Amino acid sequence: MKRKTKRAIFYWLILALPLLQFAIFYIGVNFNSLLLAFRQYDVLSNASSFVGLDNFAQVLRDIRQMEYLHIAFRNSLLLCVVNLLFGTGLALLFSFYIYKKRLFAGAFKIFLFMPHIISAVIMVTIYKFFVDRAIPYFVEQLFSVEMSGLLANPDTVFGTVLFFAVWVSFGTQTIMYTGAMSGISDSVVEAARMDGITPLREFWYITLPSIYPTIVTFVIVCVAGIFTNQMQLYSFYGQNAEYKLYNIGYFLYSETQSASGSGSYMRYPYLSAFGLVLTCIAVPLTLIVRWAMNKFGPKAD
Amino acid sequence: MKSNVMKHRRPSPLTVTLGILLALYALSMTVLLLWGVFTALKTQEEFRQNVALPPGGAPWDWAWGNFVRVFENFYVPVTKIVNGTAVQQNIWVEEMLLNTLLYTVGGAFIQTAVPCAVAYVTSKFRFRFSAVVQGIVIVTMIIPIVGSQASELELLMRIGIYDTIWGNWIQKFNFLGMYYLVFFAAFKLIPDDYAEAAYIDGASEWRVMISIMLPLVATTFFTVMLLKFIDFWNDYQTPLLYLPTHPTLAYGVFRLSTEPIQEMSTVPMRMAACIIMAVPVLAVFIVFRNKLMGNLSMGGIKE
């Protein structure tokens, strides 16, 4: 057998199963999602029938009328903006500090990475008892003022959960940004320093433009995840989060979870239609952000 | 001296501000985790009287027995369908540990080996289809498809692999995502000369891949597998959705956190369960921290 033929056989043998898996679990699943969105299941028999656009009409009606979905959309958007401004912004600044090998940079890198190592469910479990039990206790001991737990207080609960979501989000970004920053040419930094550049100007005019492709990647991942990011809400509350804390990621996961627990397919068509409506918003949004960042961002040269 | 290490200079306001912020971050993380550990070492009675400070008395008098009681009392009630009838069953910590190992080690190996093998052939074999595979990876990373879990669940139930560990391995048998790009970049850096020399000596394609190419990316392979191991060890949402009667430890701790069972309902016992679950993965991190926090390069996805 010719070597070229042997190589082709090997090539396709390696690719065959992953491509089959992709065909079933990506293309097949998403195609099935499309079909599901036009069907309805009978409660008792689990038999399905074609219902045209009924599921989409129901989804759009719910989006228009249901207060908890208004809240969920608003919170998802807020989470995305906060993640971009504070999560990405601080991660970039922290990465700069670590890249410059300032005091305790190695130790700080470990602390930032810690929430990536310890399970979210553990962090959440400790955090929620800490903010509800330990912090009021400290305040009472130190200032002789009685206060309720931060999660128990309706005025502070959303901020407390949002703070947690940002607080544990720096690890992966910091690793990737410091990795990208370490690739910046020493001679460029050295030349700028000879000219007396300050650290702030170096960060703004040299570091950020040099690692711009990595920043674009993370911003796109953040925007693309606008409707799947749950703000760790499921870890905090399981199925029982209050409506005012809802976001779309949480709504979709908890609805799917409760539908699968019921053993009936009845809720799946509605959820598929909901997912398709959200995809129709998320795809153009992501592509626009990507286009804008590439068009208006700094050029490599 | 490396240029990015500055000495004998007064730190700038930016450096000082960032240093303070990072110190506060480290302090908040330390206080929270220490509070969790100290709480795990209290009796419920002591916790009621002393919520915030370390347990009183000598360390050997602390409630170390909480950890033993977790192993004796930690279970997750699940509902299994046996011969068409719903049966309530308690899954104990030993079985959760076994499920965790199967889910974590099996999943981590598959989700490392598959992108690695696909990246190898698409980077080293000059076939036109390789560009298609790369395109698929990039497009699926950029295009966010929302809400396909319901469809996936229905499909898994119909083909009979829902709620099985091996079915979950099949679900994970994909090459999509960031780590394909990491392996692709790693293989691209390896010159073709090594493989060519082996071909001249009569080595087969399998031998070249396994004996020559894979050892050259062994560090990347190991790092990706460790990262995946940690991800899966900590993941409770996937088992909760796709493996409801095969709870892992993370799934168990989640259930404990949101709907505590009688024997484990106190805060110290719940903290003890959290600490037990965190210890193995922290040990992995301490041993391999340089690899885990090293530079995995993949570049950006800017055109």
Contact B220, B91 (CB under 8 A): no
Cα A278 to Cα B76: distance, rounded to the nearest angstrom: 35
Mean pLDDT across A168-176: 88
Tell whether the model's pLDDT for residue A200 goes beyond 80: yes
Closest by CA to A281, choosing from A256, A244, A254, A248, is: A248
Instruction: Kindly give the parts of chain B with pLDDT less than 70.
Output: 1-9, 294-303
Overall fold of domain A65-296: MetI-like fold (1.10.3720)
Chain A stretch 173-192, residues whose beta carbon is closer than 8 A to a beta carbon of chain B? 175-176, 178-179, 182-183, 186-187, 189-190
| The model's pTM | 0.88
Report the pLDDT value the prediction gives residue B301, as an integer from 0 to 100: 39
The partner residue sitting opposite A282, judged by closest CB among B6, B144, B153, is B144
pLDDT, residue B6, reads 47
Q: Which chain B residues are Cβ-neighbours of A118 within 8 angstroms?
A: 33, 234, 278, 281-282
Would you call B297 exposed, middle or buried from its count of C-beta atoms within 10 A (0-12, 13-18, 19+)? Answer: middle
Query: Interior CA angle at B22 toward A166 and A219, to 5°?
Result: 40
- The 10s digit of each residue's pLDDT in A14-40 is 999 999 999 999 999 999 999 999 999
Q: How far is A121 from chain B (nearest CA, A)?
A: 6
User: What mean pLDDT value characterizes chain A?
Assistant: 92
Instruction: Give exposure, A3-37, as e/b (b: 16+ Cβ within 10 Å).
Output: eeeebeebbeebbebbbebbebbbeebbebbeebb
Helix, strand, coil % in chain B, rounded to nearest 5: 65, 5, 30
pLDDT at A26: 96
Q: What ranges do the domains of chain A cover?
A: 65-296
- Given a contact cutoff of 8 angstroms between Cβ atoms, the answer to whether B29 and A111 are in contact is yes
Distance from CA of B58 to the nearest CA of A (A): 22
Nearest CA distance, A145 vs chain B (angstrom): 16
pLDDT at position B85, please?
A: 84
Confidence (pLDDT) at B296: 61
Written as one letter, the residue type at A182 is S
pLDDT at residue A301 in the model: 53
Contact between A22 and B174 using a beta-carbon 8 Å cutoff: yes
Residue ranges and CATH numbers for the domains of chain B are 74-259 (1.10.3720.10)
Say what percent of chain A tops pLDDT 90: 79
| Complex prediction ipTM | 0.91
B207-261 per-position pLDDT tens digit: 999 999 999 999 899 989 998 999 999 999 999 999 999 999 999 999 988 877 7
